[in-house]
A and B are shown apart, each in its own frame.
Chain A
Amino acid sequence: MKLLLEIAFTHILGRGRQTLVSIVGVAMGVGFAIAMAALMEGGQVDFIDSLVDTMPHVQITDERRTAQLQPAEVVFEATEFRGLRPRDDPRGILNPTAATASLRSWAPGDLAANLSVSAVVRFGGAERGVSVLGVEPRDLVRVSPIEEDMTVGRFEDLGGQSSGVIVGRSLAERLGADPGDSVTITAAETISRRFKIIGVFETGVVGTDERQVYMLLKSAQVLSGRPNAVNDIRIRLNDPDIAPAVAARAEEMLGYKAVSWQEANEAIFEAFEVRNIIMYTVVGAILLVAGFGIYNIVSIITHEKSRDIAILKSLGFTQEDIRRIFLTEGVLMGGVGSVIGWVLGFWLTVALGAVTLELPGQTTEPVNLPVIYSWLHYAIATMFALSSAAVAGYLPARKAAAQNPVEIIRGAT
């Protein structure tokens, strides 16, 4: 094999410039593939991390996946009912105290029971539709990073202040209200109360900062006219990966819809899958183009060295030997190109990671382009490059190996 390798080396070194161009082609392909993978997976991981950090890992609401059976349907075995008037169940999770106690007993993590209410906030002449979340502050801070997002006041200050609210910075700005100002909040179209802004938060997510209002659970229950009601239980697990199993068990136990963070973002994960397929298709295409360069140079070498092929055969080299020589040339170029591509890819990843972007439409905080360093990106890009190089080398190698040495010798004499 060493001899074949030496012969392969002399061939590609004899075509230095073309070989260099082919190697650069592979290196560029591998380099950009690594950088692209680092950027795309970096964005994906960053997004998932922020989801895991900010979202409840399991959220139980007072909805059901399928309509609940009516009492008549439970009692009578009939194929069809007509004229039944459905029973109006009060909204909210039934017996929330028992439900939360049960969840606390087996779900490994923290839990917060809340009441979510749609409302309207008025201040001066301004009016905004908002989502009011009635919470127990001490519970919520354990399942949400809200305390870290506070820009004025502390979230736990809400405890014991039945007339206090904490609002998003964007909402405060749009209302023209400052901390200490009193705003009027109306829910259920009839009940209005005045609340004092005791704190301001900024999550960086525009939708939340513009629409979310926090108040005590009791205050929200009074405001909505639903004493003791809870319609939202949020669980933060010690291990986010077990969220689907916890959600399934909670749903089976309570009968209410329990959604894991993975299920809530299913469409996004599917989009990631599609994006990854597109990315690796593009990477494959880039390296396929690089493979054409290798094919070209190996073809030229086999043509130039046809006399050597004939003489090697006359010396006792087999077709397999000849095939290996030219296949080695392709793989050598692919291999060297890959190694250079690793350096280029690493450098590009570092450079991309240093880029800072401001996306005013999406978030209010400047962000660095998220990149991730993974040996897997290098391995996949190299695998693509070597496969492409091997195919590119194999095709002319096969042709060269099949050449009739007699025809070549006759042609040369």
Chain B
Amino acid sequence: MSDAGRPPLLQARDLTRVLEETVPVTLCEDVSLSVDRGELVAVTGPSGSGKSSLLYLLGLLDMPTHGEVLLNGRPTHELSEEERARARLETIGFVFQFHFLLAEFTALENIMIPMRRLHRLSPNEQTARAEEILASLGLRDHMQKRPDQLSGGQRQRVAVARALANDPPLVLADEPTGSLDTHSSEQVFEILYDLVTAQGRTVVAVTHDIEMADRMGRRIRLIDGRVVDDAKNPAFKNPAFNC
């Protein structure tokens, strides 16, 4: 799954994150990993093992106490706040356990927010792309609805659509199915799976769902903020990368 001559899409080197509280809390400790393009990675582990903390560090939402994150081979620890925001806008799509859609905006408007911030497309192109993404996720009839008019599964699909708005190569998902029923969970998983196998994106998803993790291409297990297992799934094939 490696691209010859290109650095990995995402790398973590000796990542440590310590919360400086009355009693310092270590969220991640010396985590090093490398994620190539086209990988579907599950990050698993018991509650409090540092899965989400690792995801926020990889997504440049949080700053490590030690170590560094490299995006497309580029170190990010010296980037300014604005450059980190730009990297998130262009390169990373986030999906959280809860949809976190802006309540006052329709599904279509929510998806267009990152596009409007990036200004890469014209307004008409933005609308067309947002409609296309929503349609591809089975939400053609719900574009003009506000989040409170959608079901939990529909909201989460809109959140996935928003993560894809600027066509990022990397999608980071934090328990994307954690608040959904079985049917909706399966729908969301299939969307994530499709992002990797059909669209060639890279997805790193934190999950408690072992069955779902077993269907993914690679599983990283954390305990007490340390990587205790990092194994590929030989059964996983990604036709987008011919492997």
Contact B62 A315, beta carbon cutoff 8 Å: no
Instruction: Compute how far the CA of A311 lies from the CA of B117 in the bound complex, rounded to whole angstroms.
Output: 13
Chain A neighbourhood of B162, CB < 8 A = 315
Contact A7 B114, beta carbon cutoff 8 Å: no
* Minimum Cβ distance to chain B for residue A9 (Å): 9
Contact B105 A10, beta carbon cutoff 8 Å: yes
* Minimum Cβ distance to chain A for residue B145 (Å): 16
Please tell me which one of the listed residues A3, A10, A413 contacts residue B96 in the complex, with CB atoms under 8 A apart.
A413
Please tell me which one of the listed residues A13, A307, A406, A410 contacts residue B100 in the complex, with CB atoms under 8 A apart.
A307
Chain B neighbourhood of A410, CB < 8 A = 52
The stretch from A16-24, A79-87, A316-324, A364-372 touching chain B is: A316-324
| Contacts known (A3-B113, A319-B81); A314 close to B97, Cβ less than 8 A | no
B98 within 8 Å of A (CB atoms):
yes
* Minimum Cβ distance to chain A for residue B117 (Å): 6
A-B contacts at CB below 8 angstroms, number: 74
Contact B56 A406, beta carbon cutoff 8 Å: yes
* Minimum Cβ distance to chain B for residue A314 (Å): 4
| Contacts known (A406-B62, A412-B98, A413-B98); A317 close to B85, Cβ less than 8 A | yes
B215 within 8 Å of A (CB atoms):
no
Least CB separation from B175: chain A residue = A413
| Contacts known (A320-B82, A410-B52); A314 close to B102, Cβ less than 8 A | no
Please encode chain B, from 86 to 119, with 1 for each CB lying within 8 Å of some chain A CB and 0 for all others.
Answer: 1111100010111010101100000001101110
| Contacts known (A3-B116, A316-B85, A406-B61); A14 close to B104, Cβ less than 8 A | yes
A336 within 8 Å of B (CB atoms):
no
Instruction: Compute how far the CA of A7 lies from the CA of B109 in the bound complex, rounded to whole angstroms.
Output: 11
Chain B neighbourhood of A141, CB < 8 A = none
Chain B neighbourhood of A319, CB < 8 A = 81
Task: Give how many B residues have a beta carbon under 8 Å from the other chain's beta carbons.
Answer: 31
Please encode chain B, from 65 to 91, with 1 for each CB lying within 8 Å of some chain A CB and 0 for all others.
Answer: 000000000000000011001111110
* Minimum Cβ distance to chain A for residue B16 (Å): 15
Instruction: Compute how far the CA of A265 lies from the CA of B114 in the bound complex, rounded to whole angstroms.
Output: 66
| Contacts known (A315-B117, A406-B61); A308 close to B102, Cβ less than 8 A | yes
* Minimum Cβ distance to chain A for residue B141 (Å): 24
Extra contacts, 11 of them, besides A311-B102, A314-B94, A405-B61 (Cβ < 8 A), are A3-B113, A7-B102, A14-B104, A311-B96, A313-B61, A316-B85, A316-B89, A317-B85, A321-B117, A406-B56, A413-B52
Which chain A residues have a beta carbon within 8 Å of chain B's beta carbons?
A: 2-3, 7, 10-11, 13-14, 307-308, 310-321, 404-406, 409-410, 412-413
A-B contacts, 28 of them at CB < 8 A, read: A2-B116, A3-B116, A10-B102, A10-B104, A11-B104, A13-B104, A14-B104, A307-B100, A308-B102, A310-B100, A312-B113, A313-B85, A313-B88, A314-B61, A315-B113, A315-B117, A316-B114, A316-B118, A317-B89, A318-B82, A406-B56, A406-B62, A409-B61, A410-B52, A412-B98, A412-B100, A413-B98, A413-B175
Interface pairs A-B: 5 shortest CB-CB:
A316-B89, A10-B104, A311-B100, A316-B88, A318-B85
